[in-house]
Structure 1
Amino acid sequence: MLCFSTTLFRFSVLAATCLLVNAGAPTETVTTCHASTVQHLSCADFGVISVMTALYGRADTVTCSEGKSQQEISNTQCSLAGAVEVLKRRCDGKKTCELNTQIFETDPCRDTNKYLQTTYTCLTMIHHVTCEHSLAHLQCAEEQVLSVYSADYGRHEQTTCSYKVPATELQNTDCSGPTSKVADSCNGKNSCIIRVSNSVFGDSCPGTYKYLELAYNCEYPSISPKASVFVCTERVITCDGDAVQHLGCDTGVISVQTALYGRTDDVTCSKGRPKQQLANTQCSQEGTVDILKKRCDGKKVCELNTKDVQMSDPCSGIYKYLNTSYICLPSNNLRICEGSLAQLHCDDGLVIVVLGADYGRRDQTTCSYKRPVSQIQNVYCTSPTTKVAESCSGKESCSISVSNSLFGDPCVSTYKYLEVAYTCEYPGV
C-alpha cells in the first residue's frame, strides 16, 4: 500500500489495514461577509472541529469591502468580545457546523459593516458511520489498540443512511443520543465488531431509521492519541434486505478494493437464521466488485443496498450479505457557501493542484442554516467549473469570491455553494 505524507496531503483515517503517517493539523479560515450568509465549517478531510479564533467586526478596510462606503469600513478596531467562545460552544467537536452572524446578540459597532472570520483546525481522529442493521468494524494495525472518543446512535440529519428509506423514517433529526457501549466493548482492543441495532443501543426514536456515528483513534498503548494518524482500508458488511450500506470518505474520494455478495462463513449475518440458510460458505456472485466500483468510485459518499448488486442468485436458499472494502484517495475538500470567500492554502514550498470544483447545490443540508426551504430544494443544479483551477493551481494560497457574478447562476433562486477538491504538492511532482 502507499503511504501518503501529510506534508503533501491533509487527510483523515478510516479503519482496518492502517499505515502510520505524520499528524499535521492545518488551520482553515472562513470569512462571511453578510449577516444572512451561512458560514460553513467542516472537517471533511479529517477529525472534528476545534475553533481557534473568531472575529465578528472589522480589522481592516479590505475584507468584505466591495460596494461599501468609506464610512462603513473605516473603523478597523471593531471586535465583539467573546465571539470565539460562542463559536466554540456551537461548533467544537462536530464534523460540520453551520451558522450566521445572527447568533450574536450584541452589535460591537453599529455604523460599521462587519464580517465574521473564523479560523479552526480539525482534531485528528477516525470518523465512522454505520447504518442500522449493519455491522460496525473497528480495526487497527498490528500492535495498535482502539481508543473510542465518542459515539452516537440515532439520527441528526436526513441525508446519511437514507438510500431508498421512506421519508417518514428520516424526518426526525433530533433523536441522536450518546452511547458508551462502543467504548465499553472496544477500548483497548486491536479490533472490534458492533451490531448496529436497537437491541444493542436502545430505540431513542421509534419509527426512525438510525445509524451509529463514532470517532476513535488507533494508538500504541503508550502513545498519546494525538501523536499519530493512520490511512486505512475500511470494511462494511450489510446483511441481505433493505439495510443501507454506507461508504464514506472523510478524506478524498472512495476507491472500492473488494466486494463480495454471497457467504463465506456461517457466522456473519447469522442471527435468527436456520442452519440450512448458512450452510453454503463458498457462495460468491461474480462481478460484484465491478458493480460497486462503477457506482461508488470517485465519490465522497455512496449508499446502496444488496438489491443493487444482485445480478442473479449465486446460491438459492442461502441468506447472503454484501462485504465491501475500500480506501480513500487523499485530497483536500472544501465547501464554501455563496457570499463567502473560498480560501485555499498550502504549506511553505507546496503549491495548489485543483482536482475539481463544482458550483451549485446537490443536497439540502449543506449551507442551509436559516435558509428558506424554497432556496435549498433544488439539488440537481450543480455545475463543474474551471475558474478555481485557472485562478489557484500552482499558487501557495488563493482566495475566490463565491458568487454568481464569478461562476454564473446554474439555478436561479437557489442558495448555492462551491465545492472544491485539491491537493498540495511540490512544484513539478
Structure 2
Amino acid sequence: MCIMSVSKSFFNLSLFDFTVLLLLCQHACFLSATGIAKKSVTCEGGSASLSCRSGFIHILGANYGRTNGKTCSAGRPPGQLSNVHCSSKTSLQMMATQCNGRKSCSVHAVNSVFNDPCVGTYKYLQVSYECRLVKQHVTCESFRGDITCEKGVISVHHANYGRQDLATCPHKLATTTHCYSSQTARMRSRCNGKKSCHVLASNSVFSDPCVGVYKYLEVAYSCKKA
C-alpha cells in the first residue's frame, strides 16, 4: 500500500495540484517491488541532473510547468506565479526518451526542450524516477548485437539507436550527444520472450536519426522467468 506523509500544507493544495500528486503517488506505489522513488525539481533555465549509483534510470512521472505558487518562486513577481494549472503533455515522453536506461542524464528545463505550456508563467521541471536493476547492452554501429539470458527470457525495458554521450563507441564522427531514436517497441517485438536475440545496429534496420553521426544501439533489459 502506498503511504504518504501528510503535513498541514497538504490540505492547502488545489484540486489540480492534488491530482498531480495523486498521479505521482500512483506511479510511486509501483516501487514497492522495484526500488525507492527519487524526485528532482529544477527551476526554469536550469538543468535537471538524474543519476543512479546502481541500476539504470526509469522515469515514473514528469511535468514541466507549474502546479503551485511556492516552488521556484524566489524573486519572481506574482504575475509569473499565479497560473498553477500549467502542465506540458510532452514532459513524460521527453524525459523517458532522454533518460530511460541510462546511468545518468542531464536535461535543460527550458521552453525549447518542452515547448511553452503557459506563456508568461515561470515554470519548473518536476521529475519522479527510480533506479531499476536491469542489464544494459551496447552495440556500435555496423556491428551485430547479441542479447542473451542464461536464465529466463529477455524483457526489454528501453532501447535507443543514436548517441547520448561521446565516450560510448568512440569515433571521429561521434560529434553530438543529442541523437535520440527510441527503439523500445521494435526491440521488444524482436527480443521479448526469447533466450537470445541478435540484431544489427545499422541505419538499414533502424533508419538514420542523425545523418553523419556514428551511432550505437543501447538496450536496457532484464531476464524474467519463462
Q: Tell me the TM-score normalised to structure 1 length.
A: 0.33
Partner of 1:313: 120
Q: Is residue 2:124 matched to residue 1:322?
A: yes
Q: Is the 8 A contact 2:42 2:124 kept in 1?
A: yes
Q: Is the 8 A contact 2:39 2:127 kept in 1?
A: yes
Residue 255 of structure 1, CA deviation: 3.0
Q: Is residue 2:95 matched to residue 1:296?
A: yes
CA distance in 2, matches of 1:253, 1:291: 16
Residue 298 of structure 1, CA deviation: 4.8
CA distance in 2, matches of 1:409, 1:294: 20
CA distance in 2, matches of 1:291, 1:385: 18
Partner of 1:251: 56
In structure 2, do the counterparts of structure 1 residues 309 and 253 end up closer, same or farther at CA, with 3 Å as the change threshold?
A: farther
Q: 1:337 aligns with which of 140, 165, 186?
A: 140
CA distance in 2, matches of 1:294, 1:386: 14
Partner of 1:235: 39
Q: Is the 8 A contact 2:37 2:128 kept in 1?
A: yes
Residue 366 of structure 1, CA deviation: 4.7
Report the number of matched residues: 188
In structure 2, do the counterparts of structure 1 residues 296 and 384 end up closer, same or farther at CA, with 3 Å as the change threshold?
A: closer
Residue 262 of structure 1, CA deviation: 6.5
Q: Is the 8 A contact 2:42 2:48 kept in 1?
A: yes
Partner of 1:365: 166
| Paired AA for residue 326 in structure 1 | S
Partner of 1:47: none
| Paired AA for residue 198 in structure 2 | I
CA distance in 1, matches of 2:185, 2:62: 30
Alignment of structure 1 residues 210-229 onto 2, 5 Å: none
Residue 333 of structure 1, CA deviation: 3.9
Query: Between Structure 1 and Structure 2, which shows a larger proportion of helix residues?
Result: 2
In structure 2, do the counterparts of structure 1 residues 392 and 418 end up closer, same or farther at CA, with 3 Å as the change threshold?
A: same
Q: Is the 8 A contact 2:56 2:131 kept in 1?
A: yes
Partner of 1:132: none
Q: Is the 8 A contact 1:17 1:233 kept in 2?
A: no
The percent of aligned pairs where both chains have the same amino acid is 18
In structure 2, do the counterparts of structure 1 residues 406 and 244 end up closer, same or farther at CA, with 3 Å as the change threshold?
A: closer
Gaps of 5+ in 1: 3-15, 22-229, 315-319
Gaps of 5+ in 2: 3-27, 100-104
Partner of 1:261: 66
* DSSP-derived class of the 1:376 partner: coil
| Paired AA for residue 244 in structure 1 | S
| Paired AA for residue 393 in structure 1 | N
| Paired AA for residue 60 in structure 2 | S
Q: Is the 8 A contact 1:285 1:313 kept in 2?
A: no
Q: Is the 8 A contact 1:258 1:324 kept in 2?
A: yes
The RMSD of aligned alpha carbons is 4.8
Residue 387 of structure 1, CA deviation: 7.8
Q: 1:376 aligns with which of 174, 194, 198?
A: 174
* DSSP-derived class of the 1:312 partner: coil
* DSSP-derived class of the 2:118 partner: coil
Q: Is residue 2:155 matched to residue 1:353?
A: yes
Q: Tell me the TM-score normalised to structure 2 length.
A: 0.54
Structure with greater Cα Rg: 1
